[in-house]
Structure 1
Amino acid sequence: MNKVFTLLVFAGVPVSVIGSLLHWPSVIMFVIYCVTIIALAAFMGRATESLAVVSGPRIGGLLNATFGNAVELIISIFALKAGLIGVVLASLTGSVLGNLLLVAGLSFFVGGVKFKRQKFNVFDARHNSGLLMFAIIVAFVIPEVFSMDMNEGRTMSLSIGISIILILLYLFALFFKLVTHRGVYQSENSEGAHEHDEEPEWSKGKALLILALSTVAVAYVSERLVHTFEEVGEAFGWSELFIGVIIVAIVGNAAEHASAVIMAYKNKMDIAVEIAVGSTLQVAMFVAPVLVLVSLFFEKSMSLVFTLPELVAMVSAVLLTVIISNDGETNWFEGLTLLAAYVIMGIGFYLL
């Protein structure tokens, strides 16, 4: 399988460049871009696994989420520059839903089919649950509620203030987990107990280099993929909201999707959960606030005001994930429950 993905990468990237230069039909290029991104995501998954063996599940999962979200950040900045505020907010919503319901759901389901019970660090799960509740329910709902009695200028000021607080709290959360309390909350099933016996596929330097190069390639292909959405949407009857919430989010987070499922299949649930939940926290507490601040340099500024369907969907996803993951173990049926919730929301956004 690794040879297949290697072949797809070395064939897909040049074909993507050639196809874009020769202006091949958008539907054909859409398929080529998606296949290339999936193959690149597999490379990122292997690099993440090597880093996790060397550095531990927390740092490995954090690196994967960071490199994966870098792609979405780049795409969103291009969209902000083009004035597509609605698409950017929809893609942020899609990232939250995709990571909490699709990625975690697939990971729990695939891993649960192979292993009847899978455990992960319950202390990390509860810590992340608190941050999720804060980032989504407090920081995203407050601007929506308060903006009802505010003009556009005051709403933007509120969004800027919240964005700065979110970024600072996210940096303090990393400092808490990786410095002051690293190794303090270890569960009996923690993978760190036996990971030192495992040999990484690639060295730390090689894995970081592959992650960086893959991210650059994914960023290029994803940026080209965005230009096909309009024609592909017309061909398949997809609305702009559906493209932002479902398509852009899935493509922009393809790396995390693949990596988390692979980790779960190998019963490395600490890494899988860290990728899925950690990526969500990074999107909500870092990517979204940074986009708000970056938008100040463009013609149209973006506030942290989502639509009501987007807010309800994100809050529902957070509550469901918290309830399922707070016991520190999971199975295939819980994964199926998360996937069912994602499909239901996907249908709703498609019909809006």
Structure 2
Amino acid sequence: MNRIFTSLVMLGVPLTVAGSLLHWSSISMFIICSVTVIAISSFMGRATESIAIVSGPRIGGLLNATFGNAVELIISIFALKAGLIGVVLASLTGSVLGNLLLVGGLSFFLGGLKFKRQKFSIHDARHNSGLLVFAVIVAFVIPEIFSMSMNETKTLQLSVGISVIMIVLYLAGLFLKLVTHRGVYAHSEEGSVTEHEEPEWSKKKALTILVLATLAVAYVSESLVHTFEAVGEQFGWSELFIGVIIVAIVGNAAEHSSAILMAMKNKMDVAVEIAIGSTLQIAMFVAPLLVIISLFMPTAMPLVFTVPELVAMATAVLLTISVSSDGESNWFEGLTLLAAYLIMGIGFYLL
């Protein structure tokens, strides 16, 4: 499989360059760029797995989420530059749904098929639950409610204020986990693989690959963004569906593969850290950062989602909390999360 992804990268990047210069059709470029981004993301997943073996599940999970979300951030910045505000907001929605329901669901389901009962840190689960409620239900719903009685200028000012608060709180949460309370709630996974693992790459090589992969994704993503409107018209996809499903799946391919791989190795602390940690990073750091970046773009982006987006995200959060708050998972809980994702996917497709 690694050879296949390597071949796709070696072929996909030159094809992207050639397609941009020769102005190939939007459909061709969309397929080439999407496959190339996913292939590059596999290298990011392997690199972060190597770092996780050396540095532990929290650092590994955080790095995976950060570099995985870097793809999402890069795609969103190019979309903002192109004035596709709806696609950006929809892709943020899709990231929340994809990480909680698709990534979390596949991790619980496939891991649960191999291990009947999988455990992860209940303290981290409860800590993340509170932040999920704040990030999605509080910080995303409030701008929507207040914007009903505000003009566009005040709505944008409210969005910027909330964004700054969310970024500060996210950084404070990282300081709690990685500095002041590091190791306080240490968790030893029962039944996990105990033999010593050798990382595929050294720490230095893994970090180098992460940086190079991120740069490659930045280039390919710019070409990918330019295909969205034409592809949407061709297939009858709405801007909302493109953002929620297509961009989110392509942009978060690194987390998808890494979390599932960790779950199938019974490393649920890393898998949960990737799925939920990535969601928190999207909601509390990437989304607010995009609001601030948009101030320097032709069109500013307020942190105001549509009602279907808000309802879908709130439902995903509540469902995830209900199945993960006990610190255990099984294949049926994963199947429940996947069923919820499919139902929402059908709804967004038909909107």
For this structure pair, what is the TM-score category when the shorter chain's length is used for normalisation? Answer: over 0.9
2:107 aligned residue: 107
Output the amino acid matched with 2:185: Y
Q: State the aligned residue count.
A: 351
Tell me how far 1:220 sits from its aligned partner.
1.7
Asked if the contact 1:79/1:85 (under 8 Å) is kept, the reply is yes
Q: Structure 1 residues 305-314 or 257-266, which shifts more?
A: 257-266
Change (3 A) 1:60 1:336: same
Is the counterpart of residue 119 in structure 1 residue 119 in structure 2? yes
Change (3 A) 1:192 1:335: closer
Give unpaired runs (5+ residues) of structure 2: none
* C-alpha separation in 2, matches of 1:192 and 1:254: 25
* C-alpha separation in 1, matches of 2:111 and 2:286: 29
* C-alpha separation in 2, matches of 1:82 and 1:96: 23
Residues 300-343 of structure 1: CA distance to partner in whole angstroms, max 9, x if unpaired?
A: 22111111111000000000001011111111111111111111
SS of structure 2 residue aligned to 1:282? helix
Q: Structure 1 residues 9-18 or 334-343, which shifts more?
A: 9-18
Residues 77-101 of structure 1: CA distance to partner in whole angstroms, max 9, x if unpaired?
A: 2222222221111111111111111
Asked if the contact 2:79/2:225 (under 8 Å) is kept, the reply is no
1:280 aligned residue: 279
1:219 aligned residue: 218
Tell me how far 1:192 sits from its aligned partner.
9.9
2:250 aligned residue: 251
Q: CA RMSD in A?
A: 1.7
Residues 200-225 of structure 1: CA distance to partner in whole angstroms, max 9, x if unpaired?
A: 11110000011111111122222211
* C-alpha separation in 2, matches of 1:107 and 1:193: 16
* C-alpha separation in 2, matches of 1:34 and 1:82: 18
Give unpaired runs (5+ residues) of structure 1: none
* C-alpha separation in 2, matches of 1:299 and 1:190: 53
* C-alpha separation in 2, matches of 1:329 and 1:39: 32
Tell me how far 1:191 sits from its aligned partner.
9.6
Is the counterpart of residue 171 in structure 1 residue 185 in structure 2? no
* C-alpha separation in 2, matches of 1:126 and 1:193: 25
* C-alpha separation in 1, matches of 2:340 and 2:55: 34
SS of structure 1 residue aligned to 2:116? coil
Asked if the contact 2:193/2:265 (under 8 Å) is kept, the reply is no
2:265 aligned residue: 266
* C-alpha separation in 2, matches of 1:83 and 1:236: 21
TM-score, structure 2 length as denominator? 0.96
* C-alpha separation in 1, matches of 2:170 and 2:259: 22
Moved over 4 A (4+): 190-195
